[in-house]
Amino acid sequence: MRVRIWVTVAVLVPLALLAAANWTRLLEPVEVDLFLLGVRWPLWPVVVGLPLLLTLVYLGAALLDRARTLRQVAALERQLEEARRDLDRGREAALDAVAERLEGSIAGLESAVEGAVSGLEMRLADRLRSVDAHLTRVEDEQRQRVEALAARVAAVRDELAADVGAAEDALLRAMRGTDDDVEAEADHVRPALPGATRD
């Protein structure tokens, strides 16, 4: 637009100076040949009016073109704003859909985890019960073995005590029998010795 104004000014200023310098001559009527007839008419409408009219038409067309461009820009801005709003709505809808899918997935995962945890808890409780039962059986078996071993040790101790007692009795009897034999032999030997007397 500025280029058009400068071009118009560059054309009109010399023309206006020329018209101002020759204004009296422009006002004088002259013979003008219109091909079909001849008329007497001043030159200022042709020299000044026609360029001025063309300049006004040129500037008006430029203003109309500028106004049309501004309307197009405004329409494009409105379309851009609508597209931006549509994009925001679409983005919000997509985010809502993603959030709903994530919530569904999280709920499914939570239910799956809860099911797995409950299953694990049940299996762990069963395993603990079986371990407790096994430990109880092992403790009972160990207790029975310890009791049997204690009974056996007691029996062996009694047997050993009885054997020791019997051995002591036999040893005492053997020692008494040896003393009796020694005395009997002494009795037999004493009469043979001269001067020996019996008790």
**112-132 pLDDT, tens digit each:** 888 888 888 888 888 888 988
pLDDT (0 to 100) of residue 196: 46
CB 33 within 8 A of CB 50: no
* pLDDT over threshold 50, residue 35: yes
pLDDT (0 to 100) of residue 81: 93
pLDDT (0 to 100) of residue 48: 75
pLDDT (0 to 100) of residue 190: 54
* pLDDT over threshold 90, residue 79: yes
Report the mean per-residue pLDDT for the chain.
Answer: 81
Dihedral pair phi/psi, residue 34, rounded to 5°: -105, 30
Q: Which residue has the higher pLDDT, 127 or 44?
A: 127
Bridge partners (DSSP) listed for residue 41: 30
**pLDDT tens per residue, range 18-32:** 777 777 777 778 777
